[in-house]
Amino acid sequence: MDHFPYRDGTLYVEELPLALLAERFGTPLYVYSRAALETHYRAFDDAFGDHPHQVCYAVKANSNVAVLNVLARCGAGFDIVSGGELERVLRAGGDPDKIVFSGVGKTADEMARALQVGIHCFNVESAAELELLNLVAGELGQEAPIAIRVNPDVDAQTHPYISTGLKENKFGVDIRKAPALYQRAAELPHIRILGIDCHIGSQLTRLEPFEDALERVLALLTELQELGIEIHHLDLGGGLGVTYNDETPPAHEDYVAALLRHIPGELPVHIEPGRAIAANAGVFLTQVLFLKPTEHRNFAIVDGAMNDLIRPSLYSAWQDIVPVTPHEADCRDWDIVGPVCETGDFLGKDRALALEAGDLLAVRSAGAYGFAMASNYNSRGRPAEILVDGDQAFVVRQRETIEDQLKLETLLP
Ligand SMILES: Cc1ncc(COP(=O)(O)O)c(C=O)c1O
Ligand SMILES: N[C@@H](CCCC[NH3+])C(=O)O
């Protein structure tokens, strides 16, 4: 279901016209739909039926505390990759016992804080990390619950920057070496083995890579059982893709069903979806500042830029760009570019649109890896974020001002 439909010739989010939000809150602007977030989360959660499970939303996709709070209220768990994300989840009212902590570079301080608040599981990504975690837990007089993130060497068939399950990627432990590391973990006094973890990449649009990875994880499960190592859950990571253009990823329920088909008995399953919950729950609104047709290209210069939404520049990602209120004008192919001083600063290229200066454009599917990857490049303040609930709009993050940036900097004495 599209939570950002056209109605009466203009684009809506739930009960509100986006043009009204742009007028009230200015542009560039991120706008999220509560109903969309909840629908996407529940599609995963419901698909498990009675099978013991936990959907741990990947905070990195969209870490706004109000967004996290909406999901926490639905019962979501959270996949975090930093101490900062941990504090966000706690601030949002997330249950520490539903948090899993992934990432190849956890620091001793981050481990200690996560142990103190009682997270559910550390997804350990190397032998060195396991040893450090054992030490940190020992100092606190605790046992650290762990899964080892294994790298199954499966081609996720996605953009190389967001593929994580190939042996040349930095993530996880070579699945062939995992049994030895589990045996080491079993010897460590401050480590408690809970599960096996695996995440092979992001924006996956086919089921096969997930199933290939799962097959290898299940072979490891058998091997560990033969070694007398008990496994209490499988964490199968995130990565389900969304439709940006003409991709046809499996539906949330088909993805979960495909995983469950292979799971033995009632073994609990965790998943860590980010994009498939947040991407199509958000749009990025930007206004055309100037039209600059040239002999070679037609540029529509907008007030949003690569610092606000970097996916097109970074991965050559294609996101749909639509007029908020379509009107009659000369239709041409436009490059939608921002004010940042980089040739790579574009939101889209060759988009057939009828444009005039002052028009509002919406970049669709911008709820994941949008604001979360925004920066202050060119000393631009990051945009405001609005969460819409029915006919009400809430500012869930204010637009950054230059004073906000300057507050953190000092002159030499
Ligand atoms: C460990 C881990 N879990 C979950 C995710 C979420 O991925 P996605 O947003 O594609 O669902 C990622 C990102 O790729 C990740 O690295
Ligand atoms: N940032 C990426 C996804 C990264 C997934 C995190 N491991 C994107 O925008 O598509």
Q: Is residue 412, in this structure, part of any structural domain at all? A: no
Last residue of a domain, one of 221, 248, 277: 277
Last residue of a domain, one of 277, 292, 321: 277
Asked if residue 364 and residue 222 are part of one domain, the reply reads no
Q: Report which of residues 1 and 129 the model is more confident about.
A: 129
199 lines ligand 2 (CB under 6 A): no
Asked if residue 314 and residue 229 are part of one domain, the reply reads no
Q: Which ligand 2 atom sits nearest the alpha carbon of residue 317?
A: 10
Whether pLDDT at 15 is above 80: yes
Whether pLDDT at 86 is above 90: yes
How far does the centroid of ligand 2 lie from the alpha carbon of residue 369, in Å?
Answer: 6
Nearest to 49 by CA among 277, 259, 231, 217: 259
Query: Ligand 1 pocket test: which of 62, 71, 199 has the largest number of ligand atoms within 8 Å of its C-beta?
Result: 199
Low-confidence winner among 68-72, 243-247, 325-329 (lowest mean pLDDT)? 325-329
How far does the centroid of ligand 2 lie from the alpha carbon of residue 202, in Å?
Answer: 6
**CB 102: neighbour CB atoms within 10 A?**
28
Q: Which ligand 2 atom sits nearest the alpha carbon of residue 310?
A: 9
Confidence at residue 168, expressed as pLDDT on a 0 to 100 scale: 82
Low-confidence winner among 77-81, 111-115, 167-171, 317-321 (lowest mean pLDDT)? 167-171
Asked if residue 191 and residue 319 are part of one domain, the reply reads no
Asked if residue 293 and residue 241 are part of one domain, the reply reads no
Nearest to 192 by CA among 272, 119, 253: 119
Confidence at residue 158, expressed as pLDDT on a 0 to 100 scale: 79
147 lines ligand 1 (CB under 6 A): no
What's the domain count of the chain?
Answer: 2
- With pLDDT > 90 as the criterion, what percentage of the chain qualifies? 95
What six digits make up the tokens of 248? 């046809």
Whether pLDDT at 114 is above 80: yes
311 lines ligand 2 (CB under 6 A): yes
| pTM, entire model | 0.97
Query: Ligand 1 pocket test: which of 78, 79, 123 has the largest number of ligand atoms within 8 Å of its C-beta?
Result: 79
- Which residue has its alpha carbon closest to ligand 1 atom 12? 238
Confidence at residue 399, expressed as pLDDT on a 0 to 100 scale: 98
Whether pLDDT at 165 is above 80: no
Q: Which ligand 1 atom sits nearest the alpha carbon of residue 241?
A: 10
Last residue of a domain, one of 234, 253, 277: 277
11 lines ligand 1 (CB under 6 A): no
How far does the centroid of ligand 2 lie from the alpha carbon of residue 224, in Å?
Answer: 31
Q: What is the ipTM of this complex?
A: 0.98
Asked if residue 391 and residue 377 are part of one domain, the reply reads yes
Asked if residue 201 and residue 72 are part of one domain, the reply reads yes
Mean pLDDT across 368-384: 98
Mean pLDDT across 329-357: 97
Asked if residue 233 and residue 95 are part of one domain, the reply reads yes
Confidence at residue 243, expressed as pLDDT on a 0 to 100 scale: 97
Q: Is residue 361, in this structure, part of any structural domain at all? A: yes
Mean pLDDT across 121-142: 98
Tell me whether residue 341 is one of the annotated catalytic residues: yes
How far is Cα of residue 49 from the mean position of the Cα atoms in its chain? Answer: 24
How far does the centroid of ligand 1 lie from the alpha carbon of residue 273, in Å?
Answer: 6
Separation of alpha carbons 140 and 108, rounded Å: 12
pLDDT band per the 50, 70, 90 thresholds, residue 330: confident
Q: Is residue 62, in this structure, part of any structural domain at all? A: yes
pLDDT band per the 50, 70, 90 thresholds, residue 163: confident
The backbone torsions φ and ψ at residue 148, rounded to the nearest 5 degrees and listed phi first, read -100, 125
- For the chain, give the mean pLDDT: 97
Whether pLDDT at 366 is above 90: yes
Confidence at residue 155, expressed as pLDDT on a 0 to 100 scale: 86
- With pLDDT > 70 as the criterion, what percentage of the chain qualifies? 100
Confidence at residue 233, expressed as pLDDT on a 0 to 100 scale: 98
Mean pLDDT across 217-241: 98
Confidence at residue 162, expressed as pLDDT on a 0 to 100 scale: 73
Asked if residue 352 and residue 250 are part of one domain, the reply reads no
Asked if residue 206 and residue 246 are part of one domain, the reply reads yes
Q: For residue 74, what is the domain's CATH number?
A: 3.20.20.10
pLDDT band per the 50, 70, 90 thresholds, residue 138: very high
Whether pLDDT at 161 is above 90: no
How far does the centroid of ligand 2 lie from the alpha carbon of residue 397, in Å?
Answer: 22
Separation of alpha carbons 57 and 87, rounded Å: 15
Query: Ligand 2 pocket test: which of 104, 202, 310, 316 has the largest number of ligand atoms within 8 Å of its C-beta?
Result: 202
Asked if residue 214 and residue 132 are part of one domain, the reply reads yes
Asked if residue 118 and residue 183 are part of one domain, the reply reads yes
Q: Is residue 411, in this structure, part of any structural domain at all? A: no
Looking at all shown ligands, the one closest to residue 103's CA atom is: 1
Confidence at residue 82, expressed as pLDDT on a 0 to 100 scale: 98
Mean pLDDT across 63-67: 99
Mean pLDDT across 232-255: 98
What six digits make up the tokens of 274? 């980010």
* Active-site residue, from 74, 121, 198, 341: 341
Domain limits at 72?
34-277
Q: For residue 394, what is the domain's CATH number?
A: 2.40.37.10
* Secondary structure of the chain in HEC code, one letter for each residue: CCCCCEECCEEEECCEEHHHHHHHHCCCEEEEEHHHHHHHHHHHHHHCCCCCEEEEEEHHHCCCHHHHHHHHHCCCEEEECCHHHHHHHHHCCCCHHHEEECCCCCCHHHHHHHHHHCCCEEEECCHHHHHHHHHHHHHCCCCEEEEEEEECCCCCCCCHHHECCCCCCCCCEECCCHHHHHHHHHHCCCEEEEEEECCCECCECCCHHHHHHHHHHHHHHHHHHHCCCCCCEEECCCCECCCCCCCCCCCHHHHHHHHHCCCCCCCCEEECCCHHHHHHHEEEEEEEEEEEECCCCEEEEECCCCCCCCHHHHHCCCCCEEECCCCCCCEEEEEEECCCCCCCCEEEEEEEEECCCCCEEEECCCCCCCHHHCCCHHHCCCCEEEEEECCEEEEEECCCCHHHHHCCCCCCC
Whether pLDDT at 159 is above 90: no
Asked if residue 169 and residue 207 are part of one domain, the reply reads yes
